[in-house]
């Protein structure tokens, strides 16, 4: 059972939910399983108003934060996990079944990490852009012909699995990481927060522009790949500091060195 | 993963749900996890109409059965499981945590048993009378200060746990029955269906009346205890046949033997 402090290091993030009832349902499940940090990304104003003014609205909903975009919501998370149906997509990150991922998330929380569990809107789930902020995707094992879960129910099932008392699982259980080799196993306590990685991505992009890359090569698709790559590397915070230092230096040089004519050499 | 036939031997029973959305949510979770048999006990007519006429109402909802009472709904179940918050009640049956109960339910289905999973109304949950039809109660481990789950979310969490692919649990897991000694372990494949037990209870009651028990001693409280006792015994079908035979004989005797005056001896 994660401690209270550990549970407070897990944030449930709802991206643009459309139905206020679903925000309430997510909050209810969080209260049931002892989680308190809720963020809602770019909610429709009436939806957000209605959800927060619901009769019996929890303290949790009153304390929920609303952010302009997903990057801001997951800014300080060391592990960002995307949820949703993957039937019609080829995922770009490792996909792990919920019962196997839960012990790893608990481990991350025990190590002092900060976890964001991200849920997409009811109609289409997380976009490819949203998913690019995620290190790993979680799959709730559902039926092929009806894979898509109701938002509030998906939140409940995930938090149930995360909050499970260890004694509720059998003794002699191998840690999932041992039984199934996952890329994620490598992520240590000092994994860089999502915000750090975004700073690295931004600086690399600026550097590339300064280095004369054409604007086309810095379009959305490349930005997307860069973001994914940085997350796949499982960078530690000190790695990002080194990378930032390096690129700042390169960038400074690029901006202060006059462009030399090749012929002058 | 239970087979299709095994899953069709599990029935989700909703007792007098008040909110049509919750019936829809339960049906959605059933479709997500591959279950198809839904029974609704004594639904309010408008609730039931609205739930079934909902846009996109599943085939599942169209095929759902509506029964007058819980006894009828669980009539052919060999294992009836009650759900709900037990914080304010002292349960009269064994209570098992959901993750530990799920393997036992799967086992019952594999043996050819028929399982009913019973959910109470949103406001107060299952009554003591409802619970008297249950051999065992399941507890979803929730927080003490917010234990009560939303109906649709509770259904989703239970079915998620029941439908889990075995490989999603670690290898070397001991069966729950071994790790935790449960009264339930004794229940075999031939456990009598709920309807059989009700017939036994009815006949015993009739016999007691015929034997001159005062009407007060056959009031609700005693009926309740009798029902619970019959379930605690884990009777097999052949046991119930023997008991029925015995009590029929006693009853016949009681009705056909003139009352003798003690003094005539």
H helix or E strand, kind and range, residue B66 = strand B65-67
The secondary structure of chain B in percent helix, strand, coil, rounded to multiples of 5, reads 50, 10, 40
**B215 vs A182: CA distance, rounded Å:** 68
Query: Using a CB-CB distance cutoff of 8 angstroms, which residues of chain B are in contact with residue A31?
Result: 143, 146
**B130 vs B81: CA distance, rounded Å:** 11
**A227 vs A223: CA distance, rounded Å:** 6
Size of interface A-B (CB pairs under 8 A): 114
**A90 vs A82: CA distance, rounded Å:** 14
How large is the average pLDDT for residues B224-249? Answer: 78
Cβ of residue B131 closer than 8 Å to a chain A Cβ: no
- pLDDT at position B34 is 92
**B137 min Cα distance to partner chain A (Å):** 16
Cβ–Cβ under 8 Å, residues A31 and A156: no
Query: Using a CB-CB distance cutoff of 8 angstroms, which residues of chain A are in contact with residue B147?
Result: 32
**B92 vs B137: CA distance, rounded Å:** 9
Query: Using a CB-CB distance cutoff of 8 angstroms, which residues of chain A are in contact with residue B31?
Result: 143, 146
- Angstrom distances, CA of residue B15 to CA of A96, A189, A199, B82, B222: 36, 47, 54, 11, 23
**A204 vs A249: CA distance, rounded Å:** 11
Complex ipTM over 0.85? no
**A150 vs A123: CA distance, rounded Å:** 10
* Contact yes or no for B164 and A141 at CB 8 A: yes
Q: Which residue of B has its CA nearest to A58?
A: B146
**A140 min Cα distance to partner chain B (Å):** 8
- The residue among B265 and B238 whose pLDDT is bigger is B238
**B24 vs B39: CA distance, rounded Å:** 13
User: Which of B23, B153, B179 is best to mutate for the A interface (most A CBs within 10 A)?
Assistant: B153
How crowded is the C-beta side of A77, counted as CA atoms within 13 Å? 27
**A158 vs A140: CA distance, rounded Å:** 8
**Given a cut of 60, is residue B88 above it in pLDDT?**
no
- The residue among B228 and A149 whose pLDDT is bigger is A149
pLDDT tens readout for residues B89-102: 677 788 888 988 88
- pLDDT at position A165 is 57
How large is the average pLDDT for residues A205-224? Answer: 73
How large is the average pLDDT for residues B239-263? Answer: 71
- pLDDT at position B155 is 97
**B26 vs B65: CA distance, rounded Å:** 14
Helix (H, G, I), strand (E, B) or coil at B169: coil
What percent of chain A lies above the pLDDT cut of 70? Answer: 82
Nearest alpha-carbon partner for A151 in B57, B153, B60: B153
Listing from the earlier edge strand, what are the strands of the sheet with A37-41?
A65-67, A37-41, A10-15, A115-119, A79-82, A136-139, A95-97
pLDDT tens readout for residues A166-212: 544 443 343 333 323 233 333 444 578 888 888 888 888 887 777 77
Query: Using a CB-CB distance cutoff of 8 angstroms, which residues of chain A are in contact with residue B153?
Result: 25, 28-29, 32, 152-153, 156
Nearest alpha-carbon partner for A130 in A109, A144, A116: A116
**Given a cut of 80, is residue B52 above it in pLDDT?**
yes
How large is the average pLDDT for residues A16-39? Answer: 94
Q: How confident is the model at residue B218 (pLDDT cuts 50, 70, 90)?
A: low
Q: What is the DSSP letter of B122?
A: T
pLDDT tens readout for residues B173-202: 433 333 232 333 334 445 788 888 888 888
**DSSP of chain A:** ---HHHHTTEEEEEES-S-HHHHHHHHHHHHHHT--EEEEES--HHHHHHHHTSTT--HHHHS-EEESSHHHHTTT-SEEEE-S--TTS--SS-EEEHHHHHHHHHHHHHTT--EEEEE--TTT-S-HHHHTT-SEEEE----TTS-PPPHHHHHHHHHHHHH--GGGSPTTPPPHHHHS--GGGG--TTBPPHHHHHHHHHHHHHHHHHTT--GGGGSHHHHHHHHHHHHHTT-BHHHHHHHHHHHHHHHHHHHHSPPPPGGG-
- The residue among A239 and A194 whose pLDDT is bigger is A194
How many residues are recorded in chain A?
A: 265
**B128 vs B228: CA distance, rounded Å:** 11
How many residues are recorded in chain B?
A: 265
Cβ of residue B100 closer than 8 Å to a chain A Cβ: yes
**A74 vs A133: CA distance, rounded Å:** 8
**Given a cut of 70, is residue A55 above it in pLDDT?**
no
Tokens encoding A103? 């012990």
Q: Which residue of B has its CA nearest to A176?
A: B170
Helices (H) and strands (E) in chain B, counts: 12, 7
- The residue among A56 and A63 whose pLDDT is bigger is A63
Phi, psi of A77 (to 5 degrees): -80, 140
Nearest alpha-carbon partner for B94 in B106, B80, B108: B80
**Given a cut of 50, is residue B103 above it in pLDDT?**
yes
- pLDDT at position A259 is 55
Cβ–Cβ under 8 Å, residues B193 and B231: no
**A136 min Cα distance to partner chain B (Å):** 17
pLDDT tens readout for residues A66-82: 999 999 999 989 999 99
- Angstrom distances, CA of residue A158 to CA of A35, A149, A182, A263, B219: 12, 12, 19, 62, 45
């Amino acid at each position: 059972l994660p401690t209270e402090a550990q549970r407070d290091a897990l944030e449930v993030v709802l991206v643009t939910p459309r139905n206020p009832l679903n925000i309430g349902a997510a909050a209810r499940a969080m209260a049931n399983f002892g989680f308190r940090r809720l963020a809602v990304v770019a909610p429709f104003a009436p939806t957000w108003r209605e959800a927060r003014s619901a009769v019996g609205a929890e303290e949790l909903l009153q304390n929920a934060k609303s952010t302009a975009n997903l990057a801001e919501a997951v800014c300080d998370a060391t592990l960002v996990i995307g949820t949703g149906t993957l039937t019609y997509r080829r995922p770009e990150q490792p996909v792990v079944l919920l019962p196997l991922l839960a012990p790893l998330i608990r481990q991350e929380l025990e190590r002092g990490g900060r976890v964001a569990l991200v849920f997409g809107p009811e109609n289409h789930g997380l976009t490819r852009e949203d998913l690019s902020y995620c290190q790993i995707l979680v799959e709730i094992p559902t039926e092929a012909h009806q894979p898509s879960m109701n938002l509030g129910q998906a939140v409940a099932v995930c938090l149930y699995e995360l909050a499970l008392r260890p004694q509720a699982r059998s003794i002699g259980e191998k840690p999932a990481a041992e039984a199934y080799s996952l890329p994620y196993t490598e992520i240590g306590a000092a994994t860089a927060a999502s915000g750090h990685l975004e700073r690295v991505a931004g600086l690399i992009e600026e550097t590339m522009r300064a280095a004369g890359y054409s604007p086309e090569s810095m379009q959305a698709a490349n930005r997307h790949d860069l973001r994914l790559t940085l997350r796949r590397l499982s960078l530690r915070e000190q790695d990002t500091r080194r990378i930032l230092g390096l690129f700042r230096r390169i960038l400074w040089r690029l901006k202060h060195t006059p462009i030399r004519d090749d012929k002058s050499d």
